[in-house]
Structure formats: C-alpha cells, structure tokens
C-alpha cells in the first residue's frame, strides 16, 4: 500500500476527515457545526508537525511525504471548506463566487510556496521562526470571530462582511509579510478563545 502510515500522520488525516464532514454539514446549512469542524481541523494542524518531529530517525521519504500531505490536506481544510461555508452564507452572486475562487487560488498558491521553501535545502532563511505571508490556518480564528461579530450587524451587510474576509485574507496569503510563528502557549490561548466563541454561539443563535 502506497503512502506513509504511522502515528506521525494520524492528526493530519483526522484534520482532513473533520473538514470533509464539515463540508457535508455546510451543504446542509448546519453552519455552526461546520465551523466547529473547521476549528477541530485547525487544532489537529497545530500539533501534527510537533508529533511528526517526535519520531526519531525519520527517513527523507517520510519527511517529504509529510510536507506534501500536510499542504494537500490544508487546501481542503482551510481553502475549500471556508469557501463552501461562505457560499452557504449567501455568497452566491457573481462577485461572491469570484471572491471564493480568488480565496481558494490564494490558499493553494500560499501552500505551494510554503512547500517550495520547506523543500529547498539550499535556501538561506533569514527568519526561520517566521511565516512568509499569512498562514492559511489563520482562517480558523478569523472566521469564527467574524461569524460571532455578524450577530451585531444588519443582515443585509453580512455578505459584504464575508466578501471582505475572503478578499483581505486571500490577499494576505499572497503577501510577503513576515509573521512570527506562534509557540505552544499562543496556540493554546487561541484554541481556548475559539472554543469559548463556539460555546456562546448557540446562545446568540437563539436570542438573535
């Protein structure tokens, strides 16, 4: 059987499975559960690299396979899933669809560039602890925050909110800004913040 099958890739496959199910939920207009799947995928992605590096004496094939697998799954989890959720939230106009396409293209380009940097053994990285461009996983925090904020804006402005989100985040994916990689403490803080948002969303869904 082709591929690498050991504990180093379990979280990556769990992330993919969660987002695949999130797409099904989104297509059935279950937006909050779909966003929860997105958040779970982000949590898996935050730790899959650490788990992979814990394996001693990884072969070059295992390392390269992990790089490719992670980015391919990220395309689905943090590119296509947010796009589908946005479409279900009302971005079905020509402008909305165009922005969804732009966002997906930007996410793919960002991840492809990341792979090039990771596989270029001869590069001189002057900022090894920084991302080049906004990481696609940032949508895990951005989307729930804006969905939470949408409870306080008139419904007619909600499509504009999602259009701006796709345009700005897609543009930042393609930018060459340097963003410091978060440590374990920052990841845990962000995780707690996102989970707290999800715990309060049902209340606002009832009272809105």
- Averaged pLDDT in 10-residue chunks for the chain of 208 residues: 85 95 96 92 87 84 88 95 96 96 96 82 53 88 89 89 96 87 71 70 53
CATH (domain of 66): 1.20.120
> What is the predicted pLDDT for the residue at 207?
44
> What is the predicted pLDDT for the residue at 126?
45
> What is the predicted pLDDT for the residue at 197?
67
Q: Is 177 exposed, middle or buried (0-12, 13-18, 19+ CB in 10 A)?
A: exposed
Other beta carbons within 10 angstroms of residue 76's beta carbon come to: 17
* Full residue range of the structural domain in which residue 167 is found: 7-207
182 inside domain: yes
Whole-number Å distance between alpha carbons of 115 and 102: 20
Nearest to 52 by CA among 94, 96, 9, 1: 9
97 inside domain: yes
1 inside domain: no
142 inside domain: yes
> What is the predicted pLDDT for the residue at 189?
75
Other beta carbons within 10 angstroms of residue 5's beta carbon come to: 10
> What is the predicted pLDDT for the residue at 6?
85
Reported as a single tens digit per residue, the pLDDT across 42-89 is 989 888 888 888 888 888 888 889 889 999 999 999 999 999 999 999
Q: Please, are residues 67 and 118 in contact by the beta-carbon 8 Å criterion?
A: yes
140 inside domain: yes
75 inside domain: yes
Q: Which residue has the tokens 């788990």?
A: 51
197 inside domain: yes
2 inside domain: no
């Amino acid at each position: 059987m082709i591929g690498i099958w050991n504990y180093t890739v379990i979280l990556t496959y769990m992330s993919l499975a969660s987002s695949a199910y999130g797409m099904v939920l989104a297509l059935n207009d279950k937006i909050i559960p779909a966003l929860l799947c997105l958040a779970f995928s982000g949590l898996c992605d935050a730790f899959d690299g650490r788990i992979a590096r814990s394996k001693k004496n990884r072969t070059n094939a295992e390392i390269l396979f992990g790089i490719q697998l992670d980015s391919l799954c990220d395309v689905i989890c943090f590119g296509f899933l947010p796009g589908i959720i946005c479409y279900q939230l009302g971005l079905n106009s020509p402008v909305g669809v165009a922005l969804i396409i732009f966002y997906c293209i930007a996410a793919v380009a960002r991840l492809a560039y990341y792979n090039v940097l990771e596989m270029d053994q001869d590069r001189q990285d002057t900022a090894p602890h920084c991302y080049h461009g906004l990481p696609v996983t940032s949508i895990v925090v951005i989307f729930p925050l804006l969905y939470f904020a949408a409870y306080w804006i008139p419904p007619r402005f909600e499509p504009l909110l999602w259009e701006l989100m796709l345009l700005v985040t897609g543009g930042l994916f393609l930018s060459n800004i340097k963003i410091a990689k978060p440590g374990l403490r920052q990841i845990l803080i962000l995780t707690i913040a996102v989970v707290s948002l999800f715990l309060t969303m049902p209340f606002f869904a009832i009272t809105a």
